[in-house]
Amino acid sequence: MSAPRWIAMPIAALVLVCGVVGVQLANGGGTYEPLRPADPCVARQVTSRADGIDGLTERLVLLGIDGAACRLHVSREALTLELAQADEPTDAQIDALRSGLHTAVRRMKADGSLPPASALVDEALESSDLNDLLKTLIRALPDSVIDSALKTDDVLTRAIDDLDLRALLADVDDQQALEKRVEVAVTGAVKDSLEARVRDLA
């Protein structure tokens, strides 16, 4: 006795449903979700479209946020959003950021991506308010002299220590105020670094 014709109907329905759902799943249907934040404790490559001091600052900040997020056990995206949305960053966030920036300087020094001080001098002098004679004298110095007198990592470490990160975050949407604060911190750090060098020589 043959099976009734209608038996083919549920079978066809089963094949259709399995086919449609199978094709959806095979093409990534179950995983069509927003990008998941990466683990901030795993080192990542950061790049910048900017050159010179801007590029260096951007790479430092990106690595610094990673380090801070790792310390705080949150993703760098969550930390960035918290810092952007909160009225006032917490002490723990400020400490983590400073520590993250220090770690970033050490990492960049270790992987050789930190430029020598001589590569940044021209750009730094352009935006500084030193008198023209002094700027000309410094520009006349050979790179080797500048690089032996100023270590980029030392200057950056001192600048990070001097920076008022709370005020810096408050000024993040004011480009001029931001640059001014960084310039003051870097100039102070250069002076401190030179003084320390002279003290060591003495």
Partner 1 sequence: MRRAKAPLLILTVALVLADSAVVTLALPDILRHLDASVGQVAWVLIAYNLVLGLTAVPAAMAFTRAQPRIFSAAGIAVFAGSSAMCAVAGSIDVLIAARCVQAVGGALALVGCLELLVAQQGERRGVTSWVTAGVVGTALGPVAGGLLTQAISWQAIFVVQVPIAVLAVPAALAVRALPTVVPDRHRPATRANLTLALMSAALTAALFLLVLLLVQGWGRSPATAAVTVSVVPVAAIAARPLARLFLPPAEVEIAVGCFLVAGGLLGLALPPSASLAWTIAPQALVGLGLGLTVDRLTSAAMEMRLPRAHHAGWTIGARHVGVVVGLAILTPVFTADLRDAQVPAQQAITSLVLDAPLKPEDKIAVAESLGNELSGQRDQVPDLHSAFATLRLDPGERPAAARLERDLNAQVERAATRAFRDSFLIGAGLALAALLTLVPLRRRRPS
30 near partner 1, judged by CB under 8 A: yes
First to last CA, the chain: 110
Binding mask 100-129 for partner 1 (x = CB under 8 A): ------------------------------
Stretch that binds partner 1, among 11-19, 89-97, 106-114, 127-135 (CB under 8 A): 11-19
Binding mask 182-201 for partner 1 (x = CB under 8 A): --------------------
Q: Out of 52, 78, 109, 161, which residue is the one contacting partner 1 (CB under 8 A)?
A: 78
**Contact status, residue 75 vs residue 37, Cβ threshold 8 Å:** yes
Give Cα separations from 35 to 4, 32, 38, 43 (angstroms): 51, 9, 9, 18
Could you tell me where the DSSP H helices lie in the chain? 8-26, 52-72, 76-85, 91-110, 118-127, 132-140, 143-149, 152-162, 165-170, 175-201
Residues lying near partner 1 in the complex (CB under 8 A) are found at 5-6, 8-10, 12-14, 16-17, 20-21, 23-25, 27-30, 32-38, 47-50, 54, 57-58, 62, 65, 75-78, 80-81, 84, 172-173, 175
